[in-house]
Chains A and B, each alone.
Chain A
Amino acid sequence: MLPDAFRDNSSAAALENWDPSAIVGGKRTFNETTLEIAPGKILAVCGYLKRDLQFARLSSITAVDWYPAEPRFEIVYHLHSLARSERLRLKCRLPEAAPEIDSVTGVWQGANWYEREVFDLFGVRFREHPDQRRIMMPDDWEGHPLRKDYPTHGFKYSYKDE
């Protein structure tokens, strides 16, 4: 359901009109529009926004870890329409047990590396991603450093007894 504050936002209203069940929440802060999208619909929503609402650019994809809250992961998409100079933020909340979401590389090729980065640093999997590998950390790295329960300091091995 679209919150009433968005009735005057044409992009949000058009999206609501196109699929009433896609938007599960949203807010407007500092002149920025944030829409929360049902995780299962993200691919279709992005396709629609690019095709019909001229959001030609994907500025970035990132994630926020709200550990220990549930659903834990928040995937954040920043879209930009060059034609209208309008920005839009989409969010999807994913549970800790199954952090998986459809890849949007089919909509914007540029999503490739951003999704790899989220996979590498947060451990969120992107279904149908053409190249799901670590991008920043070495291939044999264990853990996902940007998760909140990943330690910021300390050593993996203790050398005390040697």
Chain B
Amino acid sequence: MSDPSITDPAAIVEASASAHPRRMTLNMGPQHPSTHGVLRVVVELEGETVRRAIPDIGFLHTGIEKQFEALDYQQGVTLTDRVDYLANLSNNLCYALAVEKLLGLEIPPRAQWMRVLLVELTRLNSHLVWLGTQALDIGAMSVFLYCFREREDLLRIFEMFSGQRMMTSYIRIGGLALEPPRGWQEAVSRFIKAFPSNVDQYEDLLTKNPIWLRRTRGVGHVPLDVLVDLGVTGPVLRACGLNWDIRKTEPYSSYEKFDFEVPTRTEGDVYARYQVRLAEMRQSARIVEQALAGMPEGAWRADAPHVLLPDREKMKTQMEALIYHFKIVTEGFGVPAGEYYQAIESPRGELAYYVVSDGTAKPYRVFMRTPSFGNLQALPAMTEGRLVADTIASMGSLDFVLGDVDR
């Protein structure tokens, strides 16, 4: 084992080469397909065994938290899309909920249900990308094509709603950005009716596939208490037997009105994480179906003229609407001084926005507790002392997005 007090990647390479001539230090990434972005992992190998693995992050740091402080509250929604670019709507929702809490806004039921429907579709989108890429990393190429077939349908649905495939910014402070488009029910219900049989297809390809089983069973196991201590959240914890889902324990956006289960496994290996995520996809499909069937009628955004832009027609005929429009566009809206920490269950785990307001129209501080950042800390625990090929499987099963890690 090399000196654990040395953590700087460059120093490790040097120290390792002189102290252990049989040991090889390898840079995995930042441009490596299995790192799903720009993650660099410095791995110290002895033969095929990983002795140390040190994640090096920050290559995608774009100072989003700093940018928040220069934009007004509603403009900040566009930044949240760019944090976790596979779960845009989850980030939109989390930020909007935090600011709405500070504003004391009441969101009408239709908007709340619409939000639930959209973030569950986002979960499907995110899990599909995860499944496709994880299978691709391990060598099952065809699964990727199946997953992206469905993902394309989902992106078309998002485009239908917001005009954008990925950077939707559709969930805004106070409700939704636009009225749901004509024909959205048909598009969503066509997709969601076919979806369970699509999950069956993925399962046919993988669940009993002997190569898949050998590459995932017993791989990357870490005890539950260590994972909790490291700050891991989401499906990785549930694959280790912990029944904790923020949608159940701290419901938001009327999740308490939906009937769904929290899938768990106890094995805690890569295979268990695969099983949990597949079961979650089926549960998400259930939630979307319930949201479709029970979608309340009514307003799709809050009644808050000082926060939301007025209708175009009203603006042309009513003086008051014109004044609000002018004020919101020129100076934004003030948010009462205070702070709030809103946590939601994103596809990757606990996503939280900590918004601090000083009473002005721009946030004083926005901190994002992103699930990928917390989960990635567990990578050394998952890989050290094990085979280098399993590093790829473990890394994929953590399901991190580098935009989410680096912000």
Contacts and interface: CB of A to CB of B under 8 A. Distances in A.
A18 interface: no
Contact of B228 (A34, A82, A85, A146): A82
B250 A85 contact: yes
Interface residues of A, number: 39
A87 B249 CA distance: 12
A97 interface: no
A137 interface: yes
A89 B341 CA distance: 9
Given A64-B365, A78-B352, A32 B228 contact: no
B339 A152 contact: no
Interface string A28-48: 011010100000000000000
A103 to B, nearest CB: 14
Interface in A116-144: 121, 130-131, 133-139
B100 to A, nearest CB: 11
Interface of B: 5, 7-8, 57-58, 61, 63, 65-67, 69-70, 101-102, 225-226, 228-232, 242, 244, 249-250, 338-341, 343, 350, 352, 354, 356, 364-365, 367, 369, 373-374, 377, 406-407
A29 B350 CA distance: 22
B352 A29 contact: no
Nearest to B104: A30
A145 interface: yes
B369 A59 contact: yes
Contacts of B373: 113
Given A136-B57, A152-B66, A152-B69, A30 B228 contact: no
A59 B364 contact: no
Contacts of A111: 231
Given A109-B229, A136-B57, 14 more contacts: A30-B101, A56-B225, A56-B229, A62-B354, A76-B354, A85-B249, A110-B229, A113-B373, A130-B5, A135-B58, A136-B58, A137-B61, A139-B8, A152-B69
Contact of B352 (A30, A60, A82, A114): A60
A151 B160 CA distance: 39
B81 to A, nearest CB: 20
Contacts of A89: 341
Contact of B231 (A30, A110, A134, A138): A110
A59 B7 contact: no
26 contacts: A29-B338, A29-B339, A32-B340, A34-B339, A59-B341, A59-B369, A60-B352, A62-B367, A62-B369, A76-B354, A82-B228, A85-B250, A109-B229, A111-B231, A130-B7, A133-B7, A133-B8, A134-B58, A135-B57, A136-B61, A136-B407, A138-B58, A145-B63, A145-B66, A146-B66, A152-B69
A29 B63 CA distance: 29
A11 interface: no
A108 B339 CA distance: 24
A152 B373 CA distance: 24
A110 B249 CA distance: 22
Contacts of B229: 56, 108-110
Given A110-B374, A113-B377, A78 B369 contact: yes
B242 A82 contact: yes
Contacts of B250: 85
A109 B228 CA distance: 9
B386 to A, nearest CB: 19
A156 B343 CA distance: 38
A72 interface: no
A85 B247 CA distance: 12
A89 B61 CA distance: 26
Contacts of A135: 57-58
A30 B356 CA distance: 13
A160 to B, nearest CB: 25
Contact of A56 (B63, B228, B407): B228
Contacts of A137: 58, 61
Contacts of A85: 249-250
Contacts of B232: 110
Interface in A78-95: 78, 82, 85, 87, 89
Contacts of A134: 58
Contacts of A30: 101-102, 338, 340
A131 B374 CA distance: 17
Interface string A43-78: 000000000000011111010110000000000101
B65 A146 contact: yes
B369 A58 contact: no
A57 B121 CA distance: 29
B163 to A, nearest CB: 29
Nearest to A139: B8
B58 A64 contact: no
